[in-house]
Each structure stands twice: as C-alpha cells, then as structure tokens.
Structure 1
C-alpha cells in the first residue's frame, strides 16, 4: 500500500460529527482494488501481517470496519491477536467480535491473558474486557469453557468480568 492509498483509507474514518472526509463511493472509485465481494481484500491483511507493517494493518482494519469483514478474515485476524509488532489489538478483537464466530474463541481467550507492552499502562484492561465481552457473545461450548476458565482465574479482573458474562449468558437463555 502506498501513502496515497493509506490517506484514502484514513479518509473513511468517521469524525465525531458523524461525517467522513470521503464517501464510501468515492473511496471505491479512487481505489477499486480495495474491496473484494463487499469485504476487505484479504490480501491486504495478509501482506500487512507478513511485512509486519502496522500502518497498512491500521488501514486494512479501517476498510474492514467500513465495508465489513467476512468469515474468510477470521484466520488472519486470529493470528493478529498474538502479533507484537502492531498497536491494533483492540481493533482486531472488535473485528472478531463483529464476526461472532466460535472459531475465534481461542484467539479471544488469548487476548484476555496477554497485555501487549504498549498497553501495560491501561489499568482498565480494555483489551481483555473487549475480548471477554466478545467471548460472552459467542455461541457454543468452547466460549463457555473459556469463560469458565477465566471465572476461575486468580486475576480478579478476569474472574469478575468472566462471571458477569456467564451470568449475562444465563439470563439471555432464560428469556
């Protein structure tokens, strides 16, 4: 990805006023190879991962959030959860949360237990919190199993957050 393409991607970011620098339509006219079949070009995520290029990853994620992620993105997003060369872990977890696939349960679980160096200052544990919420929204036994492990954790934050998700899941099943 070149700098002009990165600028186009950043133009898709929604401002606090609810507008974008460029429209989705203009983006597609100026950068038609960015999107395949309504989803982020997998090639970009893979290239950013292989090259360990954080700026290209950021841009790929922006396009994914604007145009949508597909189940084909799950494998690369799960790999990105563990990569230590970028600062987009919360966005990667959010993308996995949008996809709501049980195939992401293990990666989301790993995101609850690892604090990247750049997030060591974050006492609110936003990455772990997002990952636990995402686990709580997944159907199936693997997500339940991961939440049960977290609920038995010595880490008070993880334990309490997991217990809340387990309770939330129970309440939603009862209704």
Structure 2
C-alpha cells in the first residue's frame, strides 16, 4: 500500500491534481503514512494549486518530521488565497501546535524558549 500511495502522491504533485492529492492524503491517514510523505508534502506546502495545507500540517505532526519545521513556520505566517478568511487563522494555529509537538531546538528558534 505504501508504494502505491507514494506513487499516487508523486502523480498528484506532478499533475497538480488537487482531487487526487486529497484522496491520496485521506488514504494515507486511514491506511498508514509512507515515510516519504512529509518530505514530498513539504515541497508543495507553498503551492496554491491545492487546498490541503491543513492536512499536510497534520501529516508532518503525526510523522514528527523534524525537517519540516521551516515548512510549518512558513505556512503559519503565509497568506493562502482561500475563499474563507477563517482558514488562514486555523492553519496558522494548527502549525503552531505542530511546531510545539515537534518541540526540538529548531522549533524553539521560531517560537521562543517556552516550547
């Protein structure tokens, strides 16, 4: 299953297929996350062709992907072109909680010493 999900994720990214990306993320959350998911998802976190940014944050947090700290920080302060303005703050808050969960020296650099 993990090989299939990794291949589907690669396809979704290369084709910029939003619906397939959403399906792929849902399947991964249900069936188990391939180890390479966070790496690939961090690469598309800034992209605006999809609306899966909150799901990406969830995966980074679940996988405790320490290399995703900069990705999370950038997403927390970035403004995405969502039609509903509440999405911005929800994503930022989710990123802050994910950074806190990761809780390593890199996250302390972004959040101060209170982590």
Report if TM-score (shorter chain) is over 0.5: yes
- Cα 1:64–1:123 shift into 2, 3 Å: closer
Match of 2:7 among 36, 43, 50: 43
Structure 1 CA distance for aligned equivalents of residues 56 and 75 of structure 2:
10
What's the CA shift string for 1:97-142, capped at 9, x where partnerless?
A: 1111211101101111112111561177000100110001113211
2:89 maps to 1:144: no
C-alpha offsets along residues 122-163 of structure 1, whole Å, 9 cap, x if unaligned? 177000100110001113211111213xxxxxxxxxxxxxxx
Question: Structure 2: where are the runs of 5+ without partners?
Answer: none
CA–CA distance in 2 between the matches of 1:113 and 1:124?
9
Task: Note the residue ranges of structure 1 that are not aligned, 5 or more in a row.
Answer: 1-34, 149-165, 170-175
Alignment of 1:55-94 (within 5 A): 55-94=19-58
Distance 2:102 2:72 in 1: 10
Aligned partner of 1:100 in structure 2 is: 64
Aligned residues: 115
Q: 1:113 and 1:52 mapped to 2: Cα distance?
A: 23
The 8 Å contact of residues 80 and 92 in structure 1, kept in 2 or not, is answered as no
Structure 2 length-normalised TM? 0.89
Does the 8 A contact of 1:70 with 1:99 survive in 2?
Answer: no
Instruction: Pick the structure with greater CA Rg.
Output: 1
Asked if 1:116 corresponds to 2:80, the answer is yes
Under a length normalisation based on structure 1, what TM-score does the superposition of the two structures give?
Answer: 0.60
- Over aligned residues, Cα RMSD in angstroms? 1.9
Residue 43 of structure 1: CA displacement? 1.1
